[in-house]
C-alpha cells in the first residue's frame, strides 16, 4: 500500500461525482523503512504522537511535518500556509532551551510516544522562538487564559522545531484504535459502498436527538454519512471515548438504514478554536474523501468565546476548499417537539414517536 515516501494514489471518480480531492492536491505519505538506531530521542505527548501519525497517513495533507517558521507565522496571521493553501491550526513541536540546543546539532531526532515507542524520525530544519500572545490571539481570537487552548499555548516551551517526519512504527492495535482509518481506507470504503456524496459528521459526544436529526437529514439528501468522532484530549466533563464509540455502534447496527452510515474515529485533540478549528475539521474530512461537512451552532467552541455562528461565517474566507459545508441553525423546542429550521423547511422530532418528519415548509 505504501511507497517509501511521497504522495499516495487516490481514486477520483467522474467529473461532478468525485470523492473530494486531497487538500493541496495529493495525499501525503511519510512512512519510511529507515533504521532509527543510534539517534538521539525526545519524548512527545500522546496527542502529539497522534498528530505525527496523522501527518504520516495524510490526514493532515499537505503537511509533511512540523510547520516551518514562515508557515507557522502565516497560519497564525492569515490562516493559510506560505503558499496560500488554507491551514488554520499550527501543528508544532515545542521544546525547552536545553533540548533546542541539542536538536540544532543533531540533524535528526527520534520521537518517542509516552510508552517509549520510537514512532517517527524528525528531520530537523529549523529551531525558532515564537510570540505566544500573538499566537493565541491569531488562532483562538483571545488572550484569556481561561480558554483551554490559550492556557495550553501559554504553558508551551519557548522553542519550536520544524522539519519533515519519517514515520517508522505504528502503535499496537487496541480496542480504542479499531475504528481508526487512514484516508486511503476511507476512500476505498466510500467507493465500495457506491457513495459519491459523503457528509462528514464531527462529534465529541454520543448521539443524541439533535445529532440524530442532523445525521438523518444528511442521509436523506446525500449518499452516506461518515460519523467521525474525535478521540483524544477534550475537556473536563466530556464523555469517555469508549462510550461514544459503543453508542454509535448500536445506532449504526440497529437503527440507521443499511450502508448509509459509516463509523471511523479521528485521533487528535480538541483545540476549541471555534471558527479556525471548523476549517481544520473540514480539511481533515476532505482528506478522508468527504464532499460535505456539517457545521452547526458554535462548532468547536467553548464557553462564550465565539459568536454562535462564527464557525459558519468563516467559510466565506475559504472559497478554495474542496469540501462544502452544510450549515444548520439552532434547534428549538415547543412542548414535546424538537424543531430544526432550515432554509426550505422545518424538521421535527416528536419525542413520543421518535420519528423524523417534515413539519412545515418555509417559503
Backbone torsions φ then ψ of 43, nearest 5 degrees: -90, 140
One domain, residues 57 and 144:
yes
Spatial separation of the C-alpha atoms in residues 262 and 20, rounded to whole Å: 17
pLDDT at 304: 94
CATH at 117 = 3.10.400.10
- Return mean pLDDT, the chain: 86
Query: In which band, very low, low, confident or very high, does the pLDDT at 358 lie, cut at 50, 70 and 90?
Result: very low
Query: Is the per-residue pLDDT at 28 higher than 60?
Result: yes
Query: In the predicted model, what is the mean pLDDT of residues 274-287?
Result: 98
More confident call, 328 vs 75 = 75
pLDDT at 8: 54
One domain, residues 266 and 185:
yes
Does some domain include residue 199? yes
Does some domain include residue 24? yes
Paired with 142 in beta bridges are none
One domain, residues 163 and 186:
no
pLDDT at 281: 98
* Helix locations, 263-356, DSSP H: 275-288, 310-313
> Of the candidates 123, 151, 167, which is a domain's last residue?
167
One domain, residues 311 and 213:
yes
Query: Is the per-residue pLDDT at 97 higher than 60?
Result: yes
Query: In which band, very low, low, confident or very high, does the pLDDT at 241 lie, cut at 50, 70 and 90?
Result: confident
> Of the candidates 167, 195, 223, which is a domain's last residue?
167
Length of the chain: 363
Count structural domains, the chain: 2
Encode pLDDT of 332-349 as tens digits. 455 555 455 554 444 444
pLDDT at 139: 99
Q: In the structure grid, which three cell numbers stand for residue 8, read together?
A: 499516495
Encode pLDDT of 173-204 as tens digits. 888 899 999 999 999 999 999 999 999 999 87
Whole-number percent of the chain with pLDDT over 90: 66
Contact 286, 22 (CB under 8 A): yes
One domain, residues 132 and 272:
no
More confident call, 360 vs 275 = 275
> Of the candidates 167, 191, 225, which is a domain's last residue?
167
pTM: 0.86
pLDDT at 248: 83
Does some domain include residue 201? yes
One domain, residues 180 and 305:
yes
Query: Is the per-residue pLDDT at 57 higher than 90?
Result: yes
One domain, residues 26 and 153:
yes
Q: In the structure grid, which three cell numbers stand for residue 188, read together?
A: 476505498
pLDDT at 230: 92
Expressed as residue numbers, the domain containing 60 is 6-167
Does some domain include residue 1? no
pLDDT at 232: 74
pLDDT at 118: 98
pLDDT at 103: 92
Catalytic residues: 204-205
pLDDT at 218: 72
Query: In the predicted model, what is the mean pLDDT of residues 351-362?
Result: 37
DSSP 106-134: HSEEEEE-TTS-EEEEEE--EEEE--HHH
One domain, residues 111 and 142:
yes
Query: Is the per-residue pLDDT at 14 higher than 90?
Result: no
Spatial separation of the C-alpha atoms in residues 140 and 134, rounded to whole Å: 10
Query: In which band, very low, low, confident or very high, does the pLDDT at 268 lie, cut at 50, 70 and 90?
Result: very high
CATH at 265 = 3.40.50.620
Query: In which band, very low, low, confident or very high, does the pLDDT at 296 lie, cut at 50, 70 and 90?
Result: confident
Query: In the predicted model, what is the mean pLDDT of residues 53-81?
Result: 99
Spatial separation of the C-alpha atoms in residues 220 and 257, rounded to whole Å: 10
Query: Is the per-residue pLDDT at 24 higher than 70?
Result: yes
Q: In the structure grid, which three cell numbers stand for residue 63, read together?
A: 503537511
Does some domain include residue 18? yes
Does some domain include residue 301? yes
Does some domain include residue 125? yes
Query: Which of 48-62, 178-192, 227-241 shows the lowest per-residue confidence on average (mean pLDDT)?
Result: 227-241
pLDDT at 223: 92
Within the chain, how many helices (H) and strands (E) appear?
10, 19
One domain, residues 85 and 43:
yes
Tell me how far CA of residue 210 lies from CA of 66, 223, 252, 293, 349, in angstroms. 37, 20, 16, 16, 9
Query: In which band, very low, low, confident or very high, does the pLDDT at 356 lie, cut at 50, 70 and 90?
Result: very low
One domain, residues 81 and 192:
no
End-to-end CA distance of the chain: 51
Whole-number percent of the chain with pLDDT over 70: 81
One domain, residues 202 and 290:
yes
Query: In the predicted model, what is the mean pLDDT of residues 21-42?
Result: 96
Query: Which of 178-182, 212-216, 251-255, 348-352 shows the lowest per-residue confidence on average (mean pLDDT)?
Result: 348-352
One domain, residues 157 and 189:
no
Encode pLDDT of 107-136 as tens digits. 899 999 999 999 999 999 999 999 999 999
Does some domain include residue 71? yes
Query: In which band, very low, low, confident or very high, does the pLDDT at 6 lie, cut at 50, 70 and 90?
Result: low
Amino acid at each position: 500500500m505504501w511507497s517509501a515516501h511521497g504522495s499516495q494514489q487516490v481514486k477520483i471518480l467522474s467529473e461532478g461525482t468525485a470523492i473530494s480531492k486531497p487538500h493541496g492536491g495529493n495525499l501525503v505519505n511519510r512512512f519510511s523503512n529507515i533504521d532509527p538506531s543510534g539517534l538521539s530521542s525526545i519524548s512527545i505527548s500522546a496527542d502529539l504522537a497522534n498528530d505525527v501519525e496523522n501527518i504520516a497517513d495524510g490526514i493532515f495533507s499537505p503537511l509533511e511535518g512540523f510547520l516551518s517558521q514562515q508557515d507557522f507565522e502565516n497560519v497564525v496571521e492569515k490562516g493559510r500556509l506560505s503558499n496560500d493553501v488554507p491551514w488554520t491550526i499550527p501543528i508544532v513541536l515545542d521544546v525547552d532551551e536545553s533540548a533546542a540546543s541539542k536538536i540544532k546539532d543533531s540533524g535528526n531526532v527520534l520521537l518517542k510516544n509516552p510508552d517509549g515507542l520510537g514512532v517517527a524520525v524528525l528531520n530537523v530544519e529549523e529551531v525558532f522562538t515564537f510570540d505566544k500572545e500573538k499566537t493565541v490571539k491569531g488562532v483562538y481570537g483571545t488572550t484569556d487564559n481561561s480558554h483551554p487552548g490559550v492556557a495550553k499555548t501559554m504553558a508551551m516551551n519557548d522553542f519550536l522545531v520544524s522539519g519533515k517526519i519519517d514515520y517508522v512504527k505504528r502503535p499496537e492495535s487496541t480496542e480504542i484504535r479499531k475504528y481508526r482509518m487512514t484516508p486511503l481506507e476511507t476512500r476505498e470504503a466510500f467507493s465500495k459502498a457506491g457513495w459519491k456524496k459523503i457528509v462528514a459528521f464531527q462529534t465529541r459526544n454520543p448521539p443524541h436527538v439533535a445529532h440524530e436529526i442532523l445525521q438523518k437529514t444528511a442521509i436523506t439528501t446525500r449518499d452516506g454519512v461518515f460519523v467521525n468522532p474525535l478521540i483524544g484530549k477534550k475537556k473536563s466533563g466530556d464523555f469517555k471515548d469508549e462510550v461514544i464509540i459503543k453508542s454509535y455502534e448500536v445506532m449504526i447496527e440497529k437503527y440507521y438504514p443499511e450502508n448509509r452510515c459509516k463509523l471511523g474515529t479521528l485521533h487528535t485533540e480538541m483545540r476549541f478554536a471555534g471558527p479556525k478549528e471548523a476549517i481544520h475539521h473540514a480539511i481533515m474530512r476532505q482528506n478522508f474523501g468527504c464532499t460535505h461537512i456539517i457545521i452547526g451552532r458554535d462548532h468547536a467552541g467553548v464557553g462564550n468565546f465565539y459568536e454562535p455562528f462564527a464557525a459558519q461565517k468563516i467559510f466565506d474566507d475559504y472559497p478554495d476548499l474542496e469540501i462544502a459545508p452544510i450549515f444548520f441553525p439552532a434547534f428549538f423546542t415547543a412542548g414535546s417537539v424538537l424543531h430544526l429550521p432550515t432554509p426550505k423547511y422545518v424538521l421535527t422530532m416528536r419525542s413520543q414517536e421518535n420519528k423524523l418528519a417534515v413539519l412545515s415548509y418555509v417559503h
